[in-house]
Structure 1
């Protein structure tokens, strides 16, 4: 029996509990990120005021585990912000999947991928949850979402507040939207009537009745960004980072975020010079203190030039290392880059700047490559 058939034997439930809620900042109930003057959301912090080479990052064919059996946390980069994470205990999560050639509402125009997509939905054996950081086209792809729903009909989608209506229009009911600092328990279990049925998943045998439930806690957390799918709906839906805990491992997915807004400075001037005191986003320290530490962080490091325009929404590697420290991630992998090779080089410089190892702690990898933790 195919892996998709096996996966379809697991049925997800989402529930609230004291365990899922977790610690929150003292002013959470003020909902400062909700726009008080109308529809939508805002970044509530003071930190949000406002060499290119051909693509050469290697792309390799990813190798996924054929079954749910794994003793380590395994993360595979599928390009841009997309990661496929295999948790000990069996949970399989896909973050910000975009497998189309263009990030656009049109197939014939709009931003085009710098590198070929290393995988198709049909190549991924198990998808239990799809986590979306925000509604921009390079993070939320309509064709990709529909393909996932068709191949994995019991998959559960997660997105920040305000995005449920979009999924409903797509015919997707297995969806949970969360506000910042909200979490839910997520449980995968076999149907009771399957208790005496043996399912075969790519060569392995799993007794549905005897198998333990797969449990996770999935939470939406802040980040500094925005959202839109048209020229008329900017910030109408919330953006967010995410935490996922399952099988004794916990990760933080940064999605797309800025850290501090920097003005237009002379090119030779370092905006991290001591004379500059630009506010930094406080949410990342709150995430680390209240929800950390994390075994692995998936942290954006690219799309940061020109700095004075991009800094409110996109972190450069120096920002990214600060985010890594603030969120209390033990290890990290860079996401949201592939068009230039500068971000990985600058990331090493930023690690040295913070007296951290150049490699082995906060790294980058090839597209399609897997790392284990």
Structure 2
């Protein structure tokens, strides 16, 4: 087996080192007054290491900031059809279009799209390489198909999960992201060695938070729920820029 490491850039954007490859998840580098990760980004696009792939769950701007990555159009982009259209429009030629249960390989790393549900079409991912398995949840809701994942993929080393339970006020308070309790329930299904919450600091700005979105910005609620439901899993609340090694190489 080879090592596994993850560095949180901010929001749901991570640098994932697995199987000797480096993948970037759900990129977001362009901050606006009404769309802010609510925490400092760990690095700029110029500060990114060499990437082997960019993995995107859906087309929302805070997960699919392709315009900020135009200098990296030689890097493969992996995403569902809605993301693939945007990537091709912006000049990417190596676009891997995946829907639920489709897979592609980056060297010896396999990326499999798994079901998800959000306000727009979304997939989640299982990423495997070097004998390690990671689940990346983007900002999905909890869906029944997640119960299939251990049977399909075996043991999980790491789960990266949204936790803020984001609701859209103009849509009658419709929930579009899993909350801390639901993320803990998914952790109990996957039973990873380590779980890292993300997608919790996001803000729509002072007025946006009052009129458009509502979410829980406290990641420790997730840690508390996991401790109750699946104490064998270690929860790491990771600040942007922190590099975590869930399991060392062997």
TM-score by length of 1: 0.58
Structure 2: distance between partners of 1:342 and 1:137: 19
Q: What does residue 78 of structure 1 align with?
A: 9
Cα gap change, 1:169/1:186 in structure 2, threshold over 3 Å: closer, same or farther? same
Structure 2: distance between partners of 1:80 and 1:315: 15
| Matching residue within 348, 354, 365 for 2:229 | 354
**1:323-346 CA deviation, whole Å, 9 max, x = no partner?**
112234232111111258852221
Matched, 1:140 2:64: yes
| Matching residue within 112, 122, 147 for 2:36 | 112
Once the 2 structures are TM-superposed, how far is the Cα of residue 216 of structure 1 from its aligned partner? 1.4
**1:183-229 CA deviation, whole Å, 9 max, x = no partner?**
12332xxxxxxxxxxxxxxxxxxxxxxxxxxx1111100012132xx
Structure 2, unpaired ranges of 5+: 204-215
TM-score by length of 2: 0.84
Matched, 1:304 2:234: no
In the comparison of the two structures, how many residue pairs are matched? 232
Once the 2 structures are TM-superposed, how far is the Cα of residue 239 of structure 1 from its aligned partner? 1.1
Are the equivalent residues in 2 in contact too, given 1:121–1:148 (CA < 8 A)? no
Q: What does residue 178 of structure 2 align with?
A: 315
Matched, 1:283 2:145: yes
Once the 2 structures are TM-superposed, how far is the Cα of residue 167 of structure 1 from its aligned partner? 1.3
**1:298-328 CA deviation, whole Å, 9 max, x = no partner?**
11112435898243x2111111011112234
Q: What does residue 241 of structure 2 align with?
A: 368
Q: What does residue 344 of structure 1 align with?
A: 219
How much is the aligned-residue C-alpha RMSD, in angstroms?
Answer: 2.4
Once the 2 structures are TM-superposed, how far is the Cα of residue 135 of structure 1 from its aligned partner? 0.5
Higher-Rg member (1/2): 1
- Write 1 or 2 for the structure with the bigger share of helix: 2
SS of the residue aligned with 2:173? helix
| Matching residue within 133, 141, 148 for 1:258 | 141
Cα gap change, 1:355/1:282 in structure 2, threshold over 3 Å: closer, same or farther? closer
Are the equivalent residues in 2 in contact too, given 1:292–1:329 (CA < 8 A)? no
- Write 1 or 2 for the structure with the bigger share of strand: 2
Mapping of residues 164-313 of structure 1, within 5 Å? 164-187=84-107, 215-227=108-120, 238-259=121-142, 281-304=143-166, 309-311=173-175, 313=176
Q: What does residue 163 of structure 1 align with?
A: 83
Q: What does residue 124 of structure 1 align with?
A: 48
Cα gap change, 1:291/1:310 in structure 2, threshold over 3 Å: closer, same or farther? farther
Structure 2: distance between partners of 1:183 and 1:71: 21
Structure 2: distance between partners of 1:355 and 1:131: 28
Structure 2: distance between partners of 1:186 and 1:342: 34
